[in-house]
Amino acid sequence: MSKYTDKLEKIANVHLEKHPAHIVDSTALAFDREKMLVHVKGPTILELGYGDGDWTTRLIELFGKSYVVDASEKLLKHAVETHGMKVTVFHSLFEEFTPPMGMKFNTIVATHILEHVDDTIRVLKRCKEWITPDGVVIIIVPNATSLHRQLAVMMGIQKTVYDFSPRDHEVGHQRVYDLPALRRDVALAGFEITYERGLFLKILPNSMMTEFPNALIKALVDISDQLPADLMANLALVIKPIV
């Protein structure tokens, strides 16, 4: 894990410092999260990554407990300081994680994770080992064909929608998914999709949205209920193993 330590802790700082552009992201993701919580099965939930901790807070509110695996000691320390005995943390890379005593989870939450890992399919295959027979994995990833990325190409800011933005580099993205690529990786890992949607009509980069009121950001998330998934900032899936 040592070769990843500096990189992971640098990304952890992005989550903990909450500069204005990150606050825009967190606000939108909070509204995204409320649309996906209905798909979480309890009582036992594993989060891949702690991030800003907002998923953990909501899962504890709903189910009383959450389990978090993360390779960042800084984020796990923050999780324990914030939630105490209501969170159980595991310090590990996802690829190396083994739940204690064969523990299985009803839901695995993998939001804004697959774009970071070295091998998406390997991580998803590991998830199959950790869930109950009727368990599900909830995925959210940034969308390459988001409206704001398409606008960036038209403006000459990016050559293609698949180019990394400064924000992608800052938070350690290794890929930017479009919907066909996400569907392909899910299928190759042995899962089927039970629910699929887009989230958040993002019209500008975060840095240009810092003055947007929360009501407007919520409206931009809510309108995604009515629009094609491939135009939204984020892609969301609920998947289960093919049996």
pLDDT of the chain, 243 residues: tens digit per residue: 555 555 555 555 555 566 656 788 889 999 999 999 999 999 999 999 998 899 999 999 999 999 999 999 999 999 999 999 999 999 999 999 999 998 999 999 999 999 999 999 999 999 999 999 999 999 999 999 999 999 999 999 899 999 987 777 777 788 999 999 999 999 999 999 999 999 999 998 888 898 999 999 999 999 999 999 999 999 999 999 998
Please give the biggest Cα pair distance in the chain: 54
The type of residue at 168 is D
Rg (CA), the chain: 17
Q: What is the DSSP-derived secondary structure letter of residue 64? A: S
Can you state the angle between helices 73-83 and 54-63, rounded to 10 degrees? Answer: 40
CA-based angle 75:80:85, to the nearest 5? 150
- Which pLDDT does position 150 carry in this prediction? 95
Whole-number Å distance between alpha carbons of 104 and 34: 24
Residue position matching structure tokens 């978090």:
68
The type of residue at 169 is H
Give pTM, 2 decimals.
0.90
- Which pLDDT does position 13 carry in this prediction? 54
The type of residue at 64 is G
CATH (residue range 2-241)? 3.40.50.150
Query: In the structure encoding, which two tokens stand for residue 53, read together?
Result: 């901790």
